[in-house]
Amino acid sequence: MQHIRNFCIIAHIDHGKSTLADRLLEKTRTIEITAGQMLDDMDLERERGITIKSHAIQMLYDKDGEAYVLNLIDTPGHVDFSYEVSRSIAACEGALLVVDATQGVQAQTISNLYMALEHDLEIIPVINKIDVPTAMPDKVEDEIVELLGCKREEILRASGKTGEGVDTVLDAIVSRIPCPKGDKDAPLEALIFDSVFNSFRGIIAYFKIENGTIRKGDRVKFANTDMEYDAVEVGVLKMKLVPKDELRAGEVGYLITGIKNATEVKVGDTITHVSRPCTTAIAGFQEVKPMVFAGVYPIDPTDYENLRSSLEKLRLNDASLTFQPESSVALGFGFRCGFLGLLHMEIVQERLDREFDMDVITTVPNVSYLVYDKRGEATEMHNPSGMPDPTMIDHIEEPYIRASIITTSTFIGPIMKLCLDKRGELIKQEFIAGNRVELHFFLPLGEIVIDFYDRLKSLSKGYASFDYHIDGFRPSRLAKLDILLNGEPVDALSTLTHTDNAVALGRRMCEKLKELIPRQQFDIAIQAAIGAKIIARETIKCVRKDVTAKCYGGDVTRKRKLLEKQKRGKKRMKRIGTVEVPQKAFLAVLKLD
C-alpha cells in the first residue's frame, strides 16, 4: 500500500485536464498516444471536445528505483457534470488542481476545489498551457496563492501539449499525495464509484477497496440491495480491463458478476463478503439532486418498453440521471426525467439516439416547485400539467440558487443587467486579482434553465464563468401558462412562469408556433391562456382551394352557393380534424429569445 497513489484531476471546463492526462499516460508508458484525449472514448466527447464521463486508469511509475502504482481518474469540468467529480473525489486521496495559464482561476475551479477540500484531499496546484504565447503564469500564481493560501514553490508549471514539466508533476504525485490507509486483513469494504453496461458480460462495477481483500471466485454481496453474487472476474483498469487473482486495500479495480438487471447496482454502494461481512457500509456520496425536469417520449408509442430499458442502461453509466413514468394527452406514455442542467439534457438525448437508436420527443424543461394548498400542505410539482386548480392554491414557492459569476470588470454592466432581468438579486461583488471580479447573485432556478448560460457567454465574449448551488425555496407570484390549439390545451407546451413575464412569453410562444405549425385545410387558432383568461392569440389561415374557378359568368348566387358549401365543409373538418405539432415546435420554444 505504501506504493499506491489514488488521485484525480479537477479543473474548470477547457483548462486542459484530458490533454495533461494524455501526457501522464505517455510518460509512464501506459499507452501509445494515437489521438488526443485518449481517455475521452465517447464519440460525443471527441466531437465536442469536452469530458462527459470520469475515466479511471492505472499507471506504473518508477522513482528512485521503486515502482509505484498511480490510479488516475480524469473528471469533467462542466458544471452539469459536477456529480461525476464528487464520485471521483470519494475514491481518491489527492487531486491535481489544473488552472489554465491564459484564463486564470474560474468559477468551476473554485467549486471543485471546495468539493475536494471537504473530503480532506491533498491538493497539488498545476498551472497548465504555459507554452501558449498569451500565458500569464505569474498573475495566475498570485490568484492560486490567494485562493489556496499555499507557498509559491508548491505551485507546478506544466504544458499538456508539449509535455514540459510533466515529470515534476509525476514526482509531486508520489511525494505529496498520501498513500491509502486501510487494513488488508479486515473484512472487505469496497466503495462502488462507477459502473458500465457491457452487452456480453453484464454490468461491470468499478470500486475502490477501503479495507480487506477481494479474490476471483469470492462470494460477495452489495450492502444496500443485500443481493449476493459470485465474483466471476476482478482486475485493474488500464486502457482495457486487466484481470487479476486478487485486489487488496487501497487498490482501484473492477468487478464482473454477470448481473443483467440495471437496478441491482447502485453507485455509492458497498461490496463485502457474504461469509465475513463488514459491520457498517461506507458512507456514499450525497444523493444527486436533479435541477431540470423534462418529459421524454418515444416518437413511436410501441417503443415505450425499449425506452425504459435504454434509460436504465444509460443510468448505469450516468448516475445523475433520474426518471419516472408519466403520460401526456398529446404525447402518450413516456418518462419524466431529471437532469443536472441543459447540457446534461442535450447529452442524454444525443446518447439515447446514438447508443440505443431511440427517437424521442423532449418537452419544455422546467424545475420543481412547492405548491401549498389552503390547508398549508405542500406538494412538489415537476410538471405544470399536474397543477391543482388555482382556487385550491394558497401560494407557490420556487427554487432559488446562489450563483457565482467570475468575469473581467469590462463586462460587469451587461452581466448585471442580464441577472436583474432574470429577477436576480445582487448579494455582493468582490475583486479577485487584477481586473477580475466575482459577482454573487440570488437567482430563481426557473429563469436560468433555458438560455441563461448561452446569453452569459455571448455577453462576456466567452470570458465569464458560472457556477451555482441550490439555496432553498422562496414564495413567488407564479402562473401556469397554457397553450391552446383550437381550444384544446397542449399539455407538453404548458409552463410555469412569473406573472410579470406571462403576457410577453405567451405572445412570443404563439408567434413562434404560427411560424412552425404547417397550414391545414381549416383555420387554426393558437391561444395562450392563464386559467380562463386568454392573453395572446394568433391564427393560422387555412389553405383554400378556389372553388369558384369553374364559374365564368352567370348569376352571383352560383358563386355564393359554392362558397357556402366550402364554408360548411371547413367547419366540419375543423370539428373532426387534429393539429399535429411538429418536434421542431417543442425545441423552438426552448430557444425563445
Euclidean distance between CA atoms 580 and 292, whole angstroms:
26
Contact 536, 529 (CB under 8 A): no
Euclidean distance between CA atoms 15 and 158, whole angstroms:
12
H-run or E-run covering 399: strand 393-408
Q: Which three cell numbers stand for residue 147?
A: 485562493
Q: How does residue 583 score in pLDDT terms, banded at 50, 70 and 90?
A: low
Contact 211, 249 (CB under 8 A): yes
**Tens digits of residue pLDDT in 340-364:** 777 778 888 888 888 888 888 887 7
pLDDT at 121 over 80: yes
**Which one is predicted more confidently, 156 or 32?**
156
**Residue 133 pLDDT:** 84
**Which one is predicted more confidently, 38 or 388?**
388
Q: Identify which of 91, 95, 128, 83 has the alpha carbon closest to the alpha carbon of residue 10.
A: 95
pLDDT at 288 over 70: no
Concatenate the DSSP letters of all residues of 547-577 into one string.
TTTT--SS-HHHHHHHHHHHHHHHHHHHHH-
pLDDT at 284 over 70: no
**Residue 47 pLDDT:** 58
Euclidean distance between CA atoms 16 and 161, whole angstroms:
9
The whole-number average pLDDT for the span 574-583 is 64
**Residue 33 pLDDT:** 56
The whole-number average pLDDT for the span 250-273 is 79
Contacts for 410-414: CB closer than 8 Å, 24+ residues apart: 410/435, 411/459, 411/460, 411/461, 411/463, 411/464, 412/437, 412/439, 414/459, 414/460
Concatenate the DSSP letters of all residues of 79-98 into one string.
GGGHHHHHHHHHT-SEEEEE
Chain centroid to Cα 537, Å, comes to: 36
The whole-number average pLDDT for the span 530-537 is 87
Contact 285, 268 (CB under 8 A): yes
Q: Identify which of 275, 274, 240, 273 has the alpha carbon closest to the alpha carbon of residue 254.
A: 240
**Residue 197 pLDDT:** 77
The whole-number average pLDDT for the span 126-133 is 84
- Per-residue 3-state assignment (H helix, E strand, C coil) for 120-137: CCEEEEEEECCCCCCCCH
**Residue 434 pLDDT:** 66
**Which one is predicted more confidently, 337 or 238?**
337
**Residue 50 pLDDT:** 65
The whole-number average pLDDT for the span 479-505 is 82
Radius of gyration of the chain (CA): 28
**Tens digits of residue pLDDT in 501-523:** 888 888 888 888 888 888 877 78
Strand 270-273, strand 189-198: pairing:
antiparallel
**Residue 447 pLDDT:** 81
H-run or E-run covering 109: helix 107-118
**Residue 135 pLDDT:** 81
pLDDT at 291 over 80: no
Q: How does residue 12 score in pLDDT terms, banded at 50, 70 and 90?
A: confident
pLDDT at 41 over 60: no
Concatenate the DSSP letters of all residues of 361-398 into one string.
EE---B--EEEEETTS-EEEES-GGGPPPGGGEEEEEE
Query: With left for phi above 0 and alpha for psi between -120 and 50, is residue 85 left, alpha or beta?
Result: alpha
**Residue 42 pLDDT:** 57
**Residue 276 pLDDT:** 78
Question: Taking the CA of residue 418 as centre, how many other CA atoms within 13 Å lie in the half-sphere pointing to its CB?
Answer: 21
Percent of the chain exceeding pLDDT 70 equals 86
Q: What rounded mean pLDDT belongs to the chain?
A: 79
- Ranking 44-53, 122-131, 269-278, 450-459 by mean pLDDT, the lowest is 44-53
Q: Identify which of 405, 395, 442, 439 has the alpha carbon closest to the alpha carbon of residue 422.
A: 442
**CA distances in angstroms from 212 to 221, 265, 331, listed in the order given:** 14, 21, 52
Contact 9, 95 (CB under 8 A): yes
Euclidean distance between CA atoms 413 and 216, whole angstroms:
62
Euclidean distance between CA atoms 513 and 526, whole angstroms:
8
Q: Identify which of 132, 151, 133 has the alpha carbon closest to the alpha carbon of residue 142.
A: 151
pLDDT at 35 over 60: no
pLDDT at 53 over 70: no
The whole-number average pLDDT for the span 146-161 is 80
pLDDT at 51 over 70: no
**Residue 433 pLDDT:** 67
pLDDT at 324 over 80: yes
Q: How does residue 92 score in pLDDT terms, banded at 50, 70 and 90?
A: confident
Euclidean distance between CA atoms 48 and 269, whole angstroms:
32
Total Cβ atoms within 10 A of residue 195: 22
Across 206-210, 430-434, 460-464, the highest mean pLDDT is recorded for 206-210
